[in-house]
Structure 1
Amino acid sequence: MMNKDGFLSLICDAFDKEIIKKLVFSRPISGEVEKISARLSSHRGRKLLILEYFLPGNTVSHKNLSAEELCEVLSPLIDGYRQINLLTSMGNAEYKISKSGSPVVLGGDALQRKLSGGELFTVKLEPIDREKSYILSGTEPFLRELGISSSDGRVHDKKQGKFRQINKFLEHIEELYARLPKDGEICIYDLCCGKSYLSFAVYHFLTEIKGRSVYMLGIDLKRDVILWCESLAKKLGYSGMHFEVGDILALSSDRKPDMVISLHACDIATDIVLSTATRLGADIILSTPCCHKYLSKRVDAPELDFVLAYPHLKNKISEILTDALRISYLRSRAIRLLLLSLQTPKTRRKTLLSAP
């Protein structure tokens, strides 16, 4: 009778022979992951098993496993679930914990015999990103320098979310491109720029893909970050990129920016960004609000105690109210506003305030 180690070996063998249709972990012994569903896929010629972790609150997270790490990761997962179903093109097997607490594998030996001899019916490996064509491919030099992709242009597994988010942001830039000046140099400010993932992406998009001349200024209070950005821009040959250490509250400019961007300026820094952008007369503002601590610490409405008594709900309502107040501020300045989302199929929703 097959045991746990035999079942693990069967899964790895099925992965190696490309016959897995689905692998489902259910009835957790402990922990907050209610279910794990896995399927075969591929990325840049590498075979992968994609795990989907189903968490409370309709939240799903993903992990991509290569052949080298498969057995090491799956072994402790098997220990954490009372039922695991392996569905393949050659038959199925089920691992479960009996009432006595002993592991039982149904159909495992029969499936193993089928894999050991005779013709195999493999499963077609669908690429991870088959449904999506991205603006960036991963081979761009700035992505390598930012640690998002490797020297051969493969996006690192842990950076897939960041890669998709950057591409999503560039899709919004593409939609707004017609509102930028048709001729001459485009002027863009990145306020509270941090490590400037978006600055480098937007600069590449406008100069390399659109063929435009761009003056881009990134501003942040952190001197070490600015020095790092300056060094990277010089290394990439981005002569139109400039960085300054400074407080954006004191920023003055004789030149009106065509666009102001800001990603995750923390807490009220987002409000300072929006205020500065309107003061400078920016034609386009793209900002993703980050943190809503200011209002969360101060909101006091007895009528809403049934909501505010719960920290999670209090944070959510503070987020909604904060963004609504920011929208009201921009509208009071006669700025036409779009409320967009940076959500991709595999990342958490992030709000994007767009004032074109």
Structure 2
Amino acid sequence: MSVTPAISVDSLPVTPLDDREQFLAQLETSLAQNTFLKLVLSKYRGNEPELQRIDARLVTVREQPCLSFVYNYKTRDITKNLPLSEAIECIAGLLPAAFKNAHLLSLTDELQLVFSKRDKSQLFVGKSVQRDAPTAAHNREKKRFLELSRPFLADLGVTNAKHELVPAMARKWKQINKFIEVFAHALSSSPLREDQPIHAVDFGSGKGYLTFALHDYLRNSLGLEAQVRGVELREDMVSLCNAAAANLEQPGLLFQHGDVRTYAPEQIDIMIALHACDVATDYALHLGIRSNASIIMCSPCCHKQIRPQMHSPAMLKPMLQYGVHLGQEAEMVTDSLRALLLEACGYSTRVFEFVSLEHTNKNKMILAVKRTEAINPAELLAKIRGIKEFYGISEHCLENLLKTDGRL
């Protein structure tokens, strides 16, 4: 097999090869130098209606190195092993005739080849990083969920035309990465299946940073069939984000004008509501619960409902006479009740610190993942009653909504 010399990241802009040839050359080089980790072909546009993606990994068959292709269909998987030279020819024939997205991961580089509807290609190359060899048991490969080379980051102003981070967007970049990291862990433990379409809704999507990132991770990084909706009250933001989605040719991504209290989607598998003010968080959680969402992610803000109701127990009055402490206590009680109510509705729930949003110093997140096993909510409901009685709380918005539905 002839070996094309490795292509350095710095030389890519001046190479005479086109994007597709560069990608195939780097694939061949990674196989020849034994740095290949995996290849994913997604965005299938061929003639087999149930084929979704192809995953390829390196195997040895009868002492000969081969690429093992796993053809992922909606209801089954088919595996085919090909010698390396045949495998490269096969991949070349599939791009872009059958697949519009190819993701190559090696020990030194990460490449993303994307084709538009008219087969115009774009190649995005991640910075070279030293990854641990998979054979080193004591070393673990660092998980990277998002790269600066992703095209939506440039369109949203997070990176410049050279895919370099804009200094003023460093905080936003950190938030986006942490959000995807948290979501990825939640997805891995959720009952959602890769062979089924996934419907996600992001309430209060704003400029769409996290909405675009979620869509990109689901469809491009994981190759899943995902429909992602950003719901926002400000119509100018909706128009701005839809224009960006159209410019980037992002199928399955749509922004809509609406409010969490009135929005009624057909299906929600993933419900996100960051910086939902006061009881808007309760309405978002309620929508996620009654939609039987597998993943619910909320970042509460402006805890106003519980604080006026709270009667400081005698033992706590010396602490809670200070307004800042009373406010912090009210936030803790409000979100603890929310988490316990989610548990009572069949979710495994965590409350933890997140990266604060740019327009608020609030940094708490409530993450709920649907359990597969049934639970008895009686003990949890007793704990909720105990907390309310201790503080003299008469009502909680989420609890009232769930009672109205007959879920409690």
**TM-score normalized by the length of structure 2:** 0.50
Superposed counterparts of 1:169-180, under 5 Å: 169-178=179-188, 179=190, 180=192
Alignment match, 1:159: 169
Calculate the aligned-residue CA RMSD, in Å.
2.6
With over 3 angstroms needed to count, the CA separation of the structure-2 counterparts of 1:143 and 1:184, relative to structure 1, is same
Moved more, 161-170 or 298-307: 298-307
Q: Secondary structure at the match of 1:265?
A: strand
Structure 1 residue 261 corresponds to structure 2 residue 304: no
Q: Secondary structure at the match of 1:336?
A: strand
Corresponding letter in the other structure for 1:166: I
Take 1:266 and 1:156, find their aligned partners in 2: how far apart are those partners? 29
Take 1:268 and 1:302, find their aligned partners in 2: how far apart are those partners? 25
Q: Is the 8 A contact 2:301 2:362 kept in 1?
A: no
With over 3 angstroms needed to count, the CA separation of the structure-2 counterparts of 1:218 and 1:343, relative to structure 1, is closer
Cα deviation code 1:133-162 (max 9, x no counterpart): 642232322222222222222223332222
Q: Secondary structure at the match of 2:335?
A: helix
Take 1:168 and 1:326, find their aligned partners in 2: how far apart are those partners? 23
Corresponding letter in the other structure for 1:329: L
Offset, 1:220? 2.2
Cα deviation code 1:78-120 (max 9, x no counterpart): xxxxxxxxxxxxxxxxxxxxxxxxxxxxxxxxxxxxxxxxxxx
Cα deviation code 1:15-61 (max 9, x no counterpart): xxxxxxxxxxxxxxxxxxxxxxxxxxxxxxxxxxxxxxxxxxxxxxx
Runs of 4+ that moved beyond 4 A? 131-134
Q: Is the 8 A contact 1:257 1:282 kept in 2?
A: yes
With over 3 angstroms needed to count, the CA separation of the structure-2 counterparts of 1:296 and 1:197, relative to structure 1, is farther
Corresponding letter in the other structure for 1:295: I
**TM-score normalized by the length of structure 1:** 0.57
Unaligned 5+ residue runs, structure 2? 1-128, 130-140, 370-408
Superposed counterparts of 1:218-229, under 5 Å: 218-229=230-241
Offset, 1:297? 4.8
Structure 1 residue 280 corresponds to structure 2 residue 280: no
Superposed counterparts of 1:56-95, under 5 Å: none
Residue among 188, 195, 218 paired with 1:206: 218
With over 3 angstroms needed to count, the CA separation of the structure-2 counterparts of 1:310 and 1:152, relative to structure 1, is farther
Decide which structure has the larger Cα Rg and report it.
1
Q: Secondary structure at the match of 1:338?
A: strand
Alignment match, 2:5: none
Cα deviation code 1:234-292 (max 9, x no counterpart): 122112111221222223233x3221112211222111110111111111111122232
Q: Secondary structure at the match of 1:188?
A: strand
Q: Is the 8 A contact 2:299 2:364 kept in 1?
A: yes
Corresponding letter in the other structure for 2:345: R
Q: Is the 8 A contact 1:185 1:212 kept in 2?
A: yes
Q: Is the 8 A contact 1:198 1:263 kept in 2?
A: no
Cα deviation code 1:163-213 (max 9, x no counterpart): 112111111222133332221321111123222221111111111111122
Unaligned 5+ residue runs, structure 1? 1-126
With over 3 angstroms needed to count, the CA separation of the structure-2 counterparts of 1:318 and 1:145, relative to structure 1, is farther
Offset, 1:132? 7.6
Take 1:245 and 1:209, find their aligned partners in 2: how far apart are those partners? 28
